[in-house]
């Protein structure tokens, strides 16, 4: 797509860089407003998601519903089996499967999907002509009249607003936070490696029986805890597969470094994974023994950024607040971002003259929350691995904290963010379009 003059029939011309779950959800939300000219740019040649299962807390499910995507979600979502519908995770000691406690998410439980399935389900709601593929962002520039993007294929886009949903390795982030002014804010390795695999549920049930463990451990979402390690399981693909992630953390340094040139994702043999869990219990060994060809992921995150907005350009989702997966909160924050942005940009009060103020209001109501979710996700990984500050391996203290730890995260309603932003913009007396 080459540079085009503004279509004056449109209230706003909006570019979104990044066609993952957050970017597509935002595009769908914005496309419902006929006075918006929306364009979504994806670097790949088609929509695709890496990874397997993704977990959604009640707040994420709320955002999905508010975005008008609940039916698409419910059609593919998994849940904890009856009578454990409200169970987010049961927590157990990794060495012997001893039950510690359970965290409940009433009315939601462990609501999860396969990433690619969910993306496909929401892409189905995207109108024709909005998505453009093979568009890798190269340069972002803006002036008083608008913002321009140059792509590696030589094409350009000019609009009123640019939204960077382009992930932890975001190209748009450099424009919002120039290294010359702010220093480096790139991804950093957390010190944690995660082994991942998908296991047929029948195989895991059989493995549990053969090791003398209750089949419930295969069917109900579980988290096995231990020093510098933890393992989680939950169902995906309508309960036919169990998503397994086994975490190992090196805490020998405050600033861990991957070996030079080491890939973020690699294939490893099963024995390498098993060797990382010496002395773990029968259930844990049975789970890992069902993963014939594990992949190992070096988990990266972003530091908490000082800002997400530069005038007409905003970064959101993992481009702004990539976090560790220990609260299952990353996708939920991207979806909350999408709902709040769609609500503000979709409002008839938003026009070419005030878009920078609208984006500033968005940042003002989202920044503290997303930074807190980043920080608590990091802390949660420490707690699960008996390294929580003031908790350590005190399992009674640990279990009591886990029962209510996530309430503040899950109970949030992004409509409150929209209302707060509208007050900042003095839109209080106008109804949202």
Which residue is listed with tokens 């002509």?
A: 129
Contact 48, 74 (CB under 8 A): no
- With a CB cutoff of 8 Å and minimum separation 6, the contacts of 416 are none
* Integer Cα distance of 354 and 346 in angstroms: 13
Which residue is listed with tokens 């231990």?
A: 226
Please choose, from the candidates 339, 346, 340, the residue with its C-alpha nearest in 3D space to the C-alpha of residue 31. 346
Please say if 209 is a catalytic residue: no
| Element spanning 115, H or E | helix 115-123
Which residue is listed with tokens 């109501």?
A: 365
Please choose, from the candidates 346, 344, 359, the residue with its C-alpha nearest in 3D space to the C-alpha of residue 415. 344
Please choose, from the candidates 10, 12, 13, 39, the residue with its C-alpha nearest in 3D space to the C-alpha of residue 27. 39
- Length of the chain equals 433
Alpha-carbon torsion 276, 282, 287, 290, what sign? positive
* Integer Cα distance of 158 and 115 in angstroms: 31
Instruction: Give me the catalytic one of 196, 229, 296, 422.
Output: 196
- With a CB cutoff of 8 Å and minimum separation 6, the contacts of 187 are 168, 169, 300, 301, 302, 322
* Integer Cα distance of 295 and 304 in angstroms: 28
- How many CB atoms sit inside 10 A of residue 250's CB? 12
Residue 343 tokens read as: 């609500």
Q: Report which DSSP code applies to 147.
A: E
Angle at 229 between CA 228 and CA 234, to 5 degrees: 150
Secondary structure, 3-state, 208-269: HHHCCCCCHHHHCCEEEEECCEEEEEEEECCCCEEEEEEEEECCCCCCCCCCCCCCCEEECC
Instruction: Outline where DSSP puts E strands in 306-403.
Output: 309-310, 313-315
Residues designated catalytic: 196
């Amino acid at each position: 797509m080459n540079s085009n003059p503004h279509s004056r029939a449109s209230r706003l011309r909006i570019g979104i860089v990044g066609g993952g779950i957050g970017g597509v959800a935002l595009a769908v939300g914005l496309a419902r407003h006929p006075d918006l000219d929306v364009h979504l740019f994806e670097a790949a040649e088609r929509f695709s998601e890496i990874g397997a299962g993704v977990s959604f807390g009640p707040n994420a499910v709320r955002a999905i519903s508010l975005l008008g995507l609940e039916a698409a979600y419910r059609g593919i979502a998994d849940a904890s089996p009856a009578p454990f519908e409200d169970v987010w995770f049961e927590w157990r000691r990794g060495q012997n499967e001893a039950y510690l406690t359970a965290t409940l998410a009433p009315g939601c439980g462990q609501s999860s999907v396969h990433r690619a399935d969910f993306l496909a389900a929401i892409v189905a709601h995207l109108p024709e002509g909005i998505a453009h593929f093979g568009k890798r962002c190269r340069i972002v520039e803006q002036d008083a009249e608008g913002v321009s993007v140059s792509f590696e294929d030589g094409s350009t886009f000019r609009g009123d607003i640019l939204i960077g949903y382009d992930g932890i390795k975001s190209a748009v982030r450099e424009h919002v936070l120039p290294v010359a002014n702010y220093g480096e804010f790139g991804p950093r390795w957390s010190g944690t490696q995660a082994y991942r695999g998908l296991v047929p549920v029948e195989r895991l049930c059989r493995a549990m029986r053969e090791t003398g463990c209750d089949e419930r451990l295969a069917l109900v979402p579980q988290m096995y805890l231990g020093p510098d390690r933890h393992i989680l399981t939950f169902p995906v693909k309508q309960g036919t597969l169990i998503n397994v992630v086994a975490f190992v953390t090196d805490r020998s340094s405050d600033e861990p470094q991957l070996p030079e040139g080491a890939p973020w994702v690699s294939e490893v043999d099963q024995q390498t994974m098993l060797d990382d869990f010496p002395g773990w219990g029968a259930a844990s060994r049975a789970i890992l023994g069902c993963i014939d060809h594990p992949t190992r992921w070096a988990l990266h995150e972003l530091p908490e950024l000082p800002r997400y907005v530069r005038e007409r350009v905003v970064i959101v989702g993992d481009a702004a607040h990539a976090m560790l997966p220990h609260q299952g909160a990353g996708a939920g924050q991207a979806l909350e971002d999408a709902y709040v942005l769609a609500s503000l940009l979709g409002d008839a009060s938003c026009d070419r003259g005030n878009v920078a103020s609208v984006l500033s209001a968005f940042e003002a109501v989202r920044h503290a929350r997303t930074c807190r979710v980043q920080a608590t996700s990091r802390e949660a990984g420490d707690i699960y691995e008996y390294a929580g500050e003031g908790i350590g391996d005190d399992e009674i203290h640990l279990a009591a904290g886990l029962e209510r730890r996530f309430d503040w995260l899950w109970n949030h309603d992004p409509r409150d963010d929209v209302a707060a932003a509208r007050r900042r913009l003095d839109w209080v007396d106008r109804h949202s379009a």
